[in-house]
Structure 1
Amino acid sequence: MTKISIILPVFNGEKYIKKAIDSVLAQSLTDFELIIINDGSTDCTPNIVNGYSDERIILINQENHGPGNARNQGLEIAKGEYVMFLDSDDWFKCDAFEIAYNNAVKNDTDISIFQIIKYDDGEYSQNDWFNLNNFSKDFEDRVFNPHECRDFLFDISVSACQKIFRREFISKIDAKFPEGIYFEDMPFFFYTFLSSKRISIIKRHLYVRRKHEGSITEAIDSKFLDTVEAGQILMDIFIKNDWYDMYKFDLLAFKINGPRYALMGIEEKYKEKLYSLIKKDYDSIKTTQYYDDYLENLGPVKRKFFLDIIESKSYEEFKTLNQTNSSPAK
C-alpha cells in the first residue's frame, strides 16, 4: 500500500503551483501519490501540471466546484495508508512526509498535528496558533485523546494542511468537507478531531503557508459571508454526535465570534448581506431549545451582539443598538 496520499486542489494557481508540486516530488519519503484536482482552472495551471511526467502524480480535471468538493474528490480515490493536504500556494519542507509518517506509524495515531511556518515576501514568521503553543509540554512525545484538549479545543488550528490523517479512520467515520462554502476546514477539523481516539503532536515546522493577497483569509471579503453557514454546520456536528453539552460554553462563543468578527471587518459593500445572514440564523435559533443556552452562556459582549441582531430590523438599526460593541473584546 502507498504510504501517503497528498491531496492538492487548485483553481487558477499558475503563479505558485510549481513550487507546491516540486516540494512534494523532492520529499525524502518517496512512496506517495500526489492527487491534483484541477478545479476548473482557466489559466495555465493544467499546462504546468501536464508538464510533469512523474507516475506518482494523478491529475483530475473537473468543473469549478470549490475547495471542499475538490478535497472530497481526492479522498474518494486516495489509496494511501495516510492522507495529507496541500494548498496550491503553499509547500512542504523536504522531510515533512518522512517525519509525519514515522510519527503516525510509531504512535498508531488517527491524526498527528505538526507545526506551520508562515512566509510573506521572503520573510518567515511564527505564531502561537500554528506553533501548537496551546498544547503544554505534557502533550509532547505521547498519544492523547481529544477530550484531554477540552479546555483549549477552540484554540487549536483547524487547518487540514497541518495534519496527517489515517485514511482508514477518515473512511470509517465518513468524514467529508462541506461543499459550496469557504472555511470548509473548520467543520472537518472538529468532526475528525473529536471522532479520533489517538492523536499526537509533532513540534517541527513541516509546512510553509504563503501569505499573499489572494489567500482566503487575508482579505475580509465576500468569502466571509460563509462564516454563518460554516457555524451552522458546526453546531449540527456537535449536536448529532452528542458533544454539545460537554462543549456548549466554548462552542456557542466560537459560533458567535466568527460572524461577529467578520461583520466588524468585512468590506462595507458586504456588511448588509452578512448582517441579513446572521439575523436569519439568530432568528431561527430563537425558536429552538438552544436559545436559552446562548443567553446563559455567552459573555456580555457576545450576548449583546446576539440580542442586538435579533432585536434590530435593519443593519442601520443594528449599528445604533450595537455602537458600544465595536471592539473584539470578550
Structure 2
Amino acid sequence: MNILLSIVIPIYKVEQYIEKCLNSIYGQIIDLPVEVVLVNDGTPDKSMDIAQKFVNNRTVVVEQENQGLSAARNNGMKASHGEYVWFVDSDDWIADGAIGKLCKYIEDLKSEVFVLGIKAFDEKNTPIDSFHPIAPVDSIKTLTGAEWILTPHFERGPMQIFIIQRHFLEINHLEFVKGLLHEDLEFAPKMLVKAHRVTYIPENVYCYLIRSKGSITSTVNPKRFTDLFFILKEHETLLSSLSNPKLRKAMETSQWMLLRTLIFYLKVQNYKGMNLCDSHHASLVRKVAFRSAIVASKGTYKIKFLLTGLYPNIYRYIRW
C-alpha cells in the first residue's frame, strides 16, 4: 500500500495523555493509507511503554536522545514515507472519523499545504469557546500561502493545523530550528510564503489540549524573549531576500504580528534586564515597528507601533 499520510508524533513525558491520542488515531486508520511515526525523544517515563501497545506494521518508531520538539519533528519527517506529513502533539487527539475525510480531501485537491479547523479543550475535556477560528471562511478555499497570511484573522499556528506535502518540504529544505522555543512561529511563515496552493478545510478535526500548568504565559523563561527576537531577525533576513511585492507584504504582515507577540511576552513576564532598547535589539525593533505602523490592520496598532518605534520601551505603559 502506498502511504498517503504520515502522522508524526513526538513523545516526551506524556504518559497521562498518549493513550488517548493514539486511540483516536489507530482506531481510524485500519483501512486507510496512513502510517504513524512515533518519535521517542528520550522520554524518561512510561510513555513509550504505552505507545508500544499500538505498534503494528503501519508504525515507524524513531529513537533519539532528548533533543526537543523541533529535532523530533525533523527526524520523524525524515523517517516518514507518506506523500503528506501531519505533525500531531502527543497530548492532543483527532476527532472521530476525521482522518478518512482528510485523506479524501488530500487525494482530491493535491495542495501543497492543507489548513485544518481546530477545537480547544481544557484538561477536564471542556471545550474552550474563546479559542479563535483558523480563518474567517466556512467553505473549502484555496489561496497562495502569501494570500492566506494577508487574510484577516488567519492563524499561523499551532503547527498541528497544517498537513504538508513531504516533497514540498524537501525541495524547499524546510526544517524546524532545533532548540528553539516558539518554533511554530518561526516555521509557519517561511513555509507559507513558499506555497502556491494552500487549502483551508473548514472542519474542526484537530482537538487541542490547553494545559493549565506549564503554559507559555504562566512559565517565566527569558529564553522565550531571546528566541522570539531570534525569529524576528531570521524573518527579517528572509524578507530582505524577497522581491515579489505580495510575498514581501505577507512577510511584513507576519513581522508586525511577531513583534506584537514578542512585546506581549516581554510585558507579561517582565523579564529583568531585558528591554527593547538594548543595543542588540533597538535598531531592528525600530525598523520593524515603524514599518508595522504602516502595514498593521488596526488604527490602534498603527499608533502603538509608531510610539514603539520612537520610544521602544513605551511598551511597558501600553496595553497589548
TM-score when scaled to structure 2? 0.84
Distance 1:240 1:78, change over 3 A: farther
Deviations 1:173-196 (A, max 9, x none): 111111111111122211222211
Superposed counterparts of 1:211-222, under 5 Å:
211-214=210-213, 216-217=215-216, 219-222=218-221
Deviation at 1:123, TM superposition (A): 0.8
Superposed counterparts of 1:21-170, under 5 Å:
21-28=22-29, 30-120=32-122, 121-127=124-130, 129=132, 131-134=133-136, 136-137=137-138, 140-149=139-148, 151-152=150-151, 155-170=154-169
Structure 1 residue matching 2:176: 3-state secondary structure: coil
Deviations 1:57-104 (A, max 9, x none): 222221111111110001111110111111011011132221122112
Q: Distance in 1 between matches of 2:153 and 2:204?
A: 21
| 8 A Cα contact 2:115 2:199, kept in partner | yes
Which residue is 1:227 aligned to?
228
Deviation at 1:125, TM superposition (A): 2.9
Please, which moves more after superposition, 296-305 or 19-28? 296-305
Q: Distance in 1 between matches of 2:152 and 2:73?
A: 24
In the alignment, which of 261, 265, 269 is matched to residue 262 of structure 1?
Answer: 265
Structure 1 residue matching 2:82: 3-state secondary structure: coil
Which residue is 2:11 aligned to?
10
Which residue is 1:201 aligned to?
200
Deviation at 1:218, TM superposition (A): 5.1
Match for 1:91: what amino acid? Answer: W
Structure 2 residue matching 1:113: 3-state secondary structure: strand
Q: Distance in 2 between matches of 1:159 and 1:214?
A: 18
Deviation at 1:126, TM superposition (A): 4.0
Gaps of 5+ in 1: 310-317
RMSD: 2.6
Which residue is 2:317 aligned to?
324
Q: Distance in 2 between matches of 1:16 and 1:273?
A: 37
Match for 2:64: what amino acid? Answer: Q
| 8 A Cα contact 2:287 2:309, kept in partner | no
Deviation at 1:147, TM superposition (A): 3.6
Q: Distance in 2 between matches of 1:142 and 1:7?
A: 25
Superposed counterparts of 1:173-212, under 5 Å:
173-212=172-211
| 8 A Cα contact 2:113 2:197, kept in partner | yes
Count of equivalent residues = 305
Deviation at 1:201, TM superposition (A): 1.3
Gaps of 5+ in 2: 294-301
Q: Distance in 2 between matches of 1:114 and 1:30?
A: 19
Match for 2:9: what amino acid? Answer: L
Percentage of pairs with the same residue: 18
Please, which moves more after superposition, 197-206 or 23-32? 23-32
| 8 A Cα contact 2:134 2:153, kept in partner | no
**Deviating runs (4+, > 6 A) in structure 1?**
none
Match for 2:180: what amino acid? Answer: I
Match for 1:259: what amino acid? Answer: L
TM-score when scaled to structure 1? 0.82
Q: Distance in 2 between matches of 1:113 and 1:323?
A: 35
Match for 1:236: what amino acid? Answer: T
In terms of fraction of residues, the more helix-rich structure is 1
Q: Distance in 1 between matches of 2:198 and 2:283?
A: 36
Q: Distance in 1 between matches of 2:214 and 2:194?
A: 29
| 8 A Cα contact 1:100 1:164, kept in partner | no
Distance 1:195 1:115, change over 3 A: same
Please, which moves more after superposition, 296-305 or 99-108? 296-305
